[in-house]
A and B are shown apart, each in its own frame.
Chain A
Amino acid sequence: MVSSNWLPTLVKRSERGPFMKESEFDLMLAKRVKALVELHGIAYDPDFIVPADDELADKIYQSAVDLIEEVGVYIQSTERRILFYKEEISEAVENAPSEVRLGEGKDTVIERHRSIGDLAPCCVHSGPTGTPISEEYHGVILQSCAQEPLVDCLGHGSVATYHGQPIISGSPLEILAAQRDAVQAREAIRRAGRPGMHIEDMAVPLTAAGKLSTFLPQIGLRPCDGLLVSQIPELKTNYDQLSRVAYLHSVGMHVVDLMTPLIGGLGGGAEGTAIVTVASHLLGILCYQASYHFVGHMSLQWSHNTGPMGLWIQAVTGQALARNTPIVSVNDLYTRAGLGTSQVLWEIAAGAMVGTVCGLHQHGTGATGGKMKDHASGLEARFQAEVADAVLGKDREEVNRFVLHCLEQYEGKLGEPDVGKPFPALYDLNTLEPEPEWLDPYHEVKDELNSMGLDFSRRAGEPKSI
């Protein structure tokens, strides 16, 4: 499989693999995950959100390999399963990239595989993660993120209109809007003085045509940038997504593997969802040959991943991948609370700490679970990066205590979170700097974290060796 002929091989298997109705695949997967959890005695313990248990991490990894080997990957386009031999899985994992060069020129970052307790700072991806953003504020929100010195890569928001007209998926408006946004992202990083910063995606288009139309090396996306290729939960993909893979590899762009395993979904509880999340990484290696991966699991209940189960899944998934693969993976935080609140910062702090010590890079933040418009800014990205830096060198036991303390601040409010305010209410739109209303909780939470033992002395702008 690890050859230049891998996509034709995948298509061949998609056409000839065992036929199965999608609902039957779902049921088979759910039952198999449950059996693997029982077989390996994998247990979620809310007192140990960051388990210091290598054996647990290895069991989860082995379960994920077994799951992929037994159920395969479901291709919706043909209603068939692609099956892989165990040797193919091992070979693909061994050959997956352990570091990727993102961006260009002076703004290039090398994003490397991280180990558990790695001392190297995390690479920080920012931008309105899966968040609806208004046409009016999209450019300045992107710039507010790109201008943060600790931010290394720029994400993208979901803008619903083109010159005020609703963007209809699959219509010409989708391509016009996608290209507008690609140009806007490049302009945002140029204005921030970082013209070579890696742009990781354009979120507006849903179709392959829309996504790929953003490859405009002079004015939009370039080979040093990337586009997300999605998985469909759980362990599914289709020809549309695989076609994106073919194109991105052909022009030398980065394939960014986006998975959204659902906590409480087909994987069941935390244990099964962790297995599915690791298995989803294997899908991203086998089917997408991705440059890097986003751990985008989220709760079926409230579309967040900063609750105890979501954090535990991030912790054990990161550790399983750190110990058993060479790949580059990035957390992808979705909070319940909105911008401008202490709660959102506590949620981000917990997620950032877990990712850092468990071998992941950082991506934030889909505030309000990606539900409310314009809930993204540079300040929470700065905060996430600072917290990630501050826990470098801490061990898992200590970070577990920090995370439990963070959870005490917000766990009881997950049902009715503080929704906060959107970007224009929290930033000065002339200076593009955060207003005191947003800076105050930022300083308060940082002070409290500092009193717990987190050292924030590495200043913004100080060079880091990722």
Chain B
Amino acid sequence: MPKDFEQIKRELEEAIKKGEKETASTLTQQALGQGVDPLDIVQKIMVPALTDVGQRFQNFEIYLPELMMAGDAAEKVTQLVEEITLARGETSMSQGTVILGQVEGDMHDIGRNILGTLLNSHGFKVLDLGRDVPASKFLEAAEKENADIIGLSALMTTTLPAQKRTINLFSEVGQRDEYYVIVGGGAVSPEWSEEIGADGYAPDAAGAVDLCKSLLQE
């Protein structure tokens, strides 16, 4: 017997929050099979569920493993919804494309991983270039992916200059105005962000998500 939307909403929200990827996948397929609008699955189910997860992570009520698993489940839902949307010839529902990476010399991961998970869960397409990324790789990825935002992370004071170097390269090749460039990481301050001409800074992952949203709404 087909489930009504409220029941699907309740069960799918629960599955995403608990990080139950297989259950989330099955429920999404059922919902799509019953003709639920893919946009409703994203906007009325997934985004509220992940907003709740993100808020509880921010409040230290849940921890990174729960966030990762919820993100993993949400990614599966997004993938299924995107397949249907694109098969119908409709445009992607992505909020925008964000390139993330640790600038050259910086070998840290966790903060950037958290941001990637949160951005994904808020409907952004994320390409994570990983650690120790040379400036030219950011440029190359931005062009290839037609990115909207470049996120440069630096945890150490001695890797801050690489943020500046990366922004300078975008300026030198005349592509600085093509993308928003945001900076973050333990060593970064709002003053530094302003000094090197970034488009924004956020002190934590949740703030960075809000920053990305606000930049793309401009």
**Interface assignment of A132: CB less than 8 Å from any CB of chain B:** yes
Given contacts A232-B109, A233-B110, A266 and B65 within 8 Å (CB-CB): yes
Cβ contact within 8 Å between A169 and B65: no
Q: Is the CB of A300 within 8 A of B64?
A: yes
| Total contacts A-B at CB 8 Å | 83
Q: Does A268 contact B (CB under 8 A)?
A: yes
Chain B minimum-CB-distance residue to A238: B107
The complex places the Cα of A233 from the Cα of B113 at a distance, in Å, of 12
Find out whether the CB atom of B157 lies under 8 angstroms from the CB atom of A132: yes
CB-based contact B186/A169 at 8 Å: no
Distance of A266 Cα from B66 Cα, bound (Å): 9
**A-contact bits for B97-109, CB 8 A (1 contact / 0 none):** 0000000111111
- When A232-B109, A233-B110 are in contact, do A160 and B63 touch as well, CB less than 8 Å? no
Of B105, B158, B164, the residue contacting A158 (CB under 8 A) is B158
Say whether A343 faces chain B, with CB atoms less than 8 Å apart: no
Q: Which of A27, A168, A205, A238 lies at the interface centre, i.e. has the most chain B CB atoms within 10 A of its CB?
A: A168
User: B205: nearest residue on chain A (CB-CB)?
Assistant: A300
Shortest B101–chain A CB gap in Å is: 15
Q: How far is the CA of A34 from the CA of B64 in the complex (A)?
A: 12
Check B105 against A170 for contact (C-beta < 8 Å).
Answer: yes
In the docked arrangement, what's the CA distance between A160 and B154, Å?
Answer: 13
Contact with B along A364-385 (1 / 0, CB 8 A): 0000001100000000000000
Known: A169-B105, A206-B105, A262-B110. A34 touches B65 (CB 8 A): yes
Cβ-defined contact, A206 with B158, below 8 A = yes
Q: Quick one: closest B residue to A161, CB to CB?
A: B157
Whether a CB of chain A sits under 8 angstroms from the CB of B162 is yes
Residues 64-104 of B, flagged 1 when their CB comes within 8 A of A and 0 if not, give 11101100100000000000000000000000000000001
- Contacts A300-B110, A303-B186, A371-B186 given: A264-B158 contact, CB under 8 Å? no
In the assembled complex, the Cα of A265 lies from the Cα of B186 at a distance in Å of 16
Evaluate contact between A174 and B107: CB separation under 8 angstroms. no
Q: Which of A30, A174, A207 contacts B68 (CB 8 A)?
A: A30
We find that the number of chain A residues with CB closer than 8 angstroms to chain B is 37
Q: Are A264 and B109 in contact (CB under 8 A)?
A: no
Q: Which residue of B lies closest to A371 (CB)?
A: B186
Measured CB to CB, the closest approach of chain B to A14, in angstroms, equals 17
* CB–CB A160/B64 < 8 A: no
Which residues on the A side are within 8 Å of B68 (C-beta)?
Answer: 26-27, 30
Nearest CB on A from B106, distance (A) = 8
Assess whether B197 is interfacial by the CB under 8 Å rule.
Answer: no
Output the least CB separation between B92 and chain A (Å): 24
Asked whether, in the complex, the Cβ of A174 is within 8 Å of the Cβ of B158, the reply is: yes
A371 to B204, CA, bound (A): 14
Of the listed residues B158, B159, B164, B187, the one surrounded by the most CB atoms of chain A closer than 10 A to its CB is B158
Q: 6 A-B pairs, CB-CB below 8 angstroms?
A: A27-B65, A132-B157, A132-B187, A206-B106, A264-B64, A301-B60
Q: Residues of A with Cβ closer than 8 Å to B?
A: 22-23, 26-27, 30-31, 33-34, 132, 158, 160, 166-170, 174, 204-207, 232-233, 238, 262, 264-269, 272, 300-301, 303, 370-371
Known contacts A170-B104, A264-B63; 12 additional CB pairs below 8 A are A22-B109, A23-B113, A26-B113, A34-B65, A132-B187, A166-B158, A168-B158, A169-B106, A174-B158, A262-B110, A265-B64, A300-B63
8 A-B pairs with least C-beta separation: A169-B105, A30-B65, A160-B157, A166-B161, A268-B63, A264-B63, A169-B158, A168-B161
